Amino acid sequence: MKFEDYKDAALLSIEDAAREKTVDEKIVFLLEKINALSDYYTTSSCYGRIVVAESSVDNKKREYKFLGKWHREVTFRDVDAAINKYKRNILFFRLDPVILHVGCRDMDSASRLLKICQRTGLKRSGMYQIKPRIIVEIMGVDALCAPLGKDGRVMIDDDYIEFLCDISNEKFRNNEKKIDEFAQRVSSL
C-alpha cells in the first residue's frame, strides 16, 4: 500500500469514531490539524485520562474493569464514587498522559515530527513502527499509577484520595499545556 492509501483509511476510521463518539472530543482539534498536513495522518489517540480501575497484579490495561474514567480533572467525589464500586483484584488509580500514533510519509517527515515532540517536552516519543509504514508514537511524561487496594479491601483514607486528586489534576494541566504547545508547533511542519 502507498502512504495515501494508509492515510485515506485512517481518515475514514477517524470519521467513524467521531460519528460514534468514541474519540476524545478534546483532542479532535489536534487530530484535524495533523491530518490536514500532507505528510502525516493520525491512527489512534488519547487526550489523557484519569482512571480508577480493578485489574490483575500485572496491571495490564487490557484487563481493566473501569470503575471511573475521566478525560478531565477530577474531584474527590468522582474518585471516591469510583472507589466505592471496587469488589476484587487490585484497585489502581492512574493518570495516563496524551498518546498519539502518527503515520509519516517518510523518515524525514518522521524526524521533523520527533524534533517538535522533543522541543515540546513529549520526551517519550519515538518510532513505533517502520515497516510496512512509518508510525511515530507521541507520549507525554505526566503519568501516575498507584495501587489503592487488594482483594476488595481499600487501603487508603480520604486524605490520600484528596492528595491523589491534587497531584493528578496538576499533572493533567501540564499535559494540556504540552498538547496546546505541540499543536502550535505542528503548524510549522
Domains in the chain (CATH in brackets) are 3-186 (3.30.1960.10)
* For residue 23, pLDDT beyond 90: no
How far is 162 from 98, CA to CA, in rounded Å?
A: 23
**Contact (CB, 8 A) for 142 and 95:** yes
* For residue 57, pLDDT beyond 70: no
How far is 15 from 156, CA to CA, in rounded Å?
A: 42
pLDDT tens across 29-52, in order? 999 999 999 999 999 999 999 999
Q: Indicate the pLDDT class of residue 16, thresholds 50, 70 and 90.
A: confident
* For residue 58, pLDDT beyond 70: no
